[in-house]
Amino acid sequence: MAKIAVLGAGMVGSAIARVMSKHHKVVLFDGNPLQLKKCKGQNITTQVIDFKDLLELKKRIEHVDLVMGAVPGHLGYKVLEQVILSKKNMVDISFFPEDGLKLHSLAKKNQVTAIYDCGVAPGMDNILLGYHDQSMKVTDFKCYVGGLPKVKNPPFNYKAPFSPIDVLEEYTRPARFKKDGIVVTKPALTDIEHLRLPVVGTLEAFNSDGLRSLIKTMAHIPNMIEKTLRFPGHAVQMEYLKAIGLLNKKSIEVKSQTLAPIDLTAHLLFKHWKYLPGEADFTVMQVILEGIEKSQKIRYTYDLYDEYDPVEDMSAMARTTGLTACAAAEMVVQNTFREKGVFAPEYIGKAPGRFGFIIDYLKNSGVNYKRRRTKI
């Protein structure tokens, strides 16, 4: 039984704590004491902390075996860096904008294993690509992914399974993808297409910056793209907010008060996008890989559909994101992932045996990726 520190007690962080506490002792950290009160349980203790106080964080994690990060994206990179400096292994799902691979040398120097972006997407889609990149010449990779409420809630028909400010990042951060071997950058929310997907029906997909590390680690693949899924019409609504400046990050002054418009927008949207207790959501993802396998042109399609678990009171996004991180954490704790450095999740897919471990771990928890193989 290992001692695990989980940083962040939001929807996903609290789910990670509960899952890991079934086999390990967990210390759950968050800045909100009210949020922590909801998360106490067997093998879980809680501590209030300000994640901006990195020296205090170093003290608090001194006696743990592994750290799991689920803090807001704007804090994630600095927290990861501090954990590495504290010589602690880490599995992280924080959606930070910085390049986590820049900390690789620091992690090697401190003899630390750190896996970042280890959620559903980024995360599981990277693992799938890493796995198939070993056995076929991949030419095309597409990932469509989204988390949505089962019951539409006008006017946005959307609710946020994690911090609203991180959701808004998906709408403001320029989207990079690869086309014919060239990295292309476009604004988020562009190139809307409509897809009919198993179980959920028709959703819209638009550009978002989800490839992240794949741009660098899979540079040999000529065509790669990731798009976010929402109910039809949502992208246009977000474009309206952008058009009038409500997603701007540059601070402005209004009646002697200075603030960034995006912070106000996130604050106001919180009550509209916050899930109510017991409210059902679903996560849907489709990953398509095409290429040459044994001299044949092959397409692999992976479909994921997962719903809120009322027995565990755990959202689909918390399950699909958190359980992937938990599977990776178990490999680190069990010392089957022992390489030192910072690793993007596609590296997990490349290593023999690890892909199967992740898939089996998820399947045993009820998260199933259905695979189709077709000749083109």
Domain boundaries, the chain: 3-119+316-368, 124-307
Within 8 A by CB and 6+ apart from 65, the residues are: 2, 3, 4, 88, 89, 333
* Inter-helix orientation angle 164-172/234-243, to 10°: 80
pLDDT at 2: 96
**Beta bridge partners of residue 165, listed in sequence order:** none
CA 158/CA 35 separation, integer angstroms: 22
Per CATH, is 124-307 categorized as 3.30.360.10? Answer: yes
pLDDT at 24: 97
pLDDT at 342: 98
Ramachandran class of 187: left when φ > 0, alpha when ψ lies in -120 to 50, beta otherwise: beta
pLDDT by residue for the chain (376 residues), tens digit each? 899 999 999 999 999 999 999 999 999 999 999 999 888 778 999 999 999 999 999 999 999 999 999 999 999 999 999 999 999 999 999 989 899 999 999 999 999 999 999 999 999 999 999 999 999 999 999 999 999 999 999 999 999 977 778 889 889 999 999 999 999 999 999 999 999 998 999 999 999 999 999 999 999 999 999 999 999 999 999 999 999 999 999 999 999 999 999 999 999 998 899 999 899 999 999 999 999 999 999 999 999 999 999 999 999 999 999 999 999 999 999 999 999 999 999 999 988 889 999 999 999 999 999 999 999 9
**Beta bridge partners of residue 15, listed in sequence order:** none
3-119+316-368 shares its CATH topology with 124-307: no
CA 199/CA 208 separation, integer angstroms: 23
pLDDT at 38: 85
Contact 345, 104 (CB under 8 A): no
Contact 298, 365 (CB under 8 A): no
Reference 128, options 145, 113, 146; nearest CA is: 145
Contacts 24+ apart (CB under 8 A), 364-369: 365/19, 365/319, 365/323, 366/306, 366/309, 366/319, 367/304, 367/306, 367/319, 367/320, 367/323, 368/304, 368/306, 369/124, 369/128, 369/302, 369/303, 369/304
Per CATH, is 3-119+316-368 categorized as 3.40.47.10? Answer: no
**Beta bridge partners of residue 194, listed in sequence order:** 204
